[in-house]
A and B are shown apart, each in its own frame.
Chain A
Amino acid sequence: MSERMNSAWSPSSREVERQQARRRISRRQALIAAVSSLLVLGTLISITITSPGWAVVKKTFFDLGYGRKVFPTVIAGLWINLQLTFIGGFCIGVIALGLALLRTTKSPALTPFRFIATAYVDIFRGAPLILIILLVGFGVPALGLKGIPSNVIFLGTVAVVLTYSAYVAEVIRSGILSIHPSQRAAARSLGLTSGQTMRYVVLPQAIRRVVPPLLNDFVSLLKDTGLVSILGVTDAVRAAQINASRTFNYTPYVVAAILFLLITIPMTRYTDRAIRQRTNAQSSEGVI
């Protein structure tokens, strides 16, 4: 709108009054927000630090000196989590997309695979991740198959990928199903084959629509890689656990938690912004 604004325009006295009124209202709202935040946070903090056990908690959970000492081992463990997340995330993306496409296809040749994909999703979405990790981590080496590494990091990753592929496949599938049939009709009436329609028209819209839930899953994935610690992988959680059990000081757990948050919070914020920009470019709805 700004380019349409006339440079000779100056606000009428009524408009000036209105602007002043709006400023007064927003000042008052800011004040209320500040007072209420101060009150709530202040109460919570004072309850915590005046509690009878605070002195002990402070020493066992928030020991700065010890935290600094264990920091290098925890961050080395976190590097394992990150590797697992990105390598696993890539595999999950590929497998989940395949599963989602199989489950939405009508091609008769793929009927058996459609059944397999459905069964796969049912099983891995329904079973607790920690059980899958234990079954894969201890069951597969017991088979004694040649060529399959018995490395716990590898097996842990496989277990996480198996489970998350099922979750992500369902998210992508719901995105595909959410695209209105008229889009398909338009594409098909232009002569695009059903495969081309999926690739150029349906899937790009579907993926864009499910970016927020996919990001959710990505953040959960990073957190759930901590579960592979039960196989003995020295990730951030395991590193913290080793340190904590040696000294009975739980500060390493807090360090690990803070490190996870330092990654997950910016990740969520960044994607929120990316989604907003995308929506603004495509829609006239503006910034509602």
Chain B
Amino acid sequence: MANVLEISNIRKSFDSELVLNNLSLAVPEHTATVLIGASGSGKSTLLRCINLLESIDDGQIFLDGEEISDPLINVDEIRRKLGMVFQSFNLFPHKSVLENITLAPMKVQGKNKDEAVTAALALLKRFDLADKADQYPDRLSGGQQQRVAIIRSLALNPRLLLLDEITSALDPVLVNEVLSIVRDLKSDGMTMVLATHEMGFATQVADEVCFLESGNILERGSAQDVLHAPKNPKTQEFLKRVHQAGRL
């Protein structure tokens, strides 16, 4: 299996604070890589660096073998191959659900309106949101908003989907409706990198789990190994705290 994403020895700091420290990662096609770790361990920054929302200080990032950390690259062209979903949804409040989804296919991929709307409605129907097409985001529940945000990313048929703690802002009851979409995508063979605190969910979808601490991956392996038989004492400590918080 070819690697969709390859990261080698990247480094990123904000002012004097080192956020990613010599981190490497490879994500093969059709697999899901789950990033776990405490807040501030660098999960979100890693995802934002992959999506070129942040520039890295050293190291390299490759997408399908092409170096995307090259400063001369066209970032807009790279980003249309990457889908990103945020913790706080970030839907466009002045556009209806349908317009949120069709904006990028029309403006970025140059699809005509009929094409874009047909595709968007098909996705909405698939994820049980067809009746919300003409609503504005503020009228939807958090779970519905996040599902729309996922669909908005999917509408561009991304090569790689980046999910940044997409359930952290949700009511526990709503978490599952969002995670079930991700499970669906996983079984469709979507390649994904996701940061999450939902360990049960991580066990279900992860091909590889990476435990981040102070900007580096301290332990990596299958969900069974990392989540249920961690070797690194820091991973054990973290999982114990998660367990106490009732998330495992």
Cα(A50)–Cα(B153), bound, Å: 73
Pairwise interchain contact A182-B88, C-beta atoms closer than 8 A: yes
B152 CB–A CB distance under 8 Å: yes
Given A189-B84, A192-B104, are A205 and B136 also a contact pair (CB < 8 Å)? no
Chain B hits for A208, CB < 8 A: 94
Judge whether B139 and A200 touch: CB under 8 Å: no
Check: B43 CB closer than 8 A to any chain A CB: no
Contact present for B76 and A191 (CB under 8 Å): yes
Are A188's CB and B92's CB within 8 A? no
CB of A183 closer than 8 Å to a CB of B: yes
- Size band of the interface chain B makes with A: 20 to 34
How far in angstroms is the closest Cβ of chain B from A47? Answer: 50
**Interface of A: prevailing SS:** helix
B93 within 8 A of A: yes
Chain B's nearest CB lies how many Å from the CB of A205? Answer: 5
Query: How big is chain A's contact interface, by range?
Result: 20 to 34
Chain A's closest residue to B103 (CB) is A200
Question: How many inter-chain contacts with C-beta < 8 Å in the A-B complex?
Answer: 69
Within 8 A of B (CB), among A165-216: 182-183, 185-193, 196, 200-201, 204-205, 208
Is A282 an interface position by the 8 A CB rule?
yes
A200 to B79, CA, bound (A): 17
Question: Is the C-beta of B184 less than 8 angstroms from some C-beta in chain A?
Answer: no
Q: CB-CB < 8 A to A190: which residues of B?
A: 79-80, 103-104, 108, 152-153, 156
Nearest first, the 3 closest Cβ-Cβ pairs linking A and B are A191-B80, A186-B90, A190-B104
13 sampled A-B residue pairs with Cβ under 8 A? A182-B88, A185-B48, A185-B90, A186-B92, A188-B76, A190-B152, A190-B153, A191-B156, A192-B76, A196-B107, A200-B107, A281-B136, A283-B136
A190-B104, A201-B103 are known; give 10 further A-B pairs, CB within 8 A. Answer: A186-B84, A186-B86, A186-B90, A188-B75, A190-B108, A191-B76, A191-B77, A191-B108, A192-B76, A193-B76
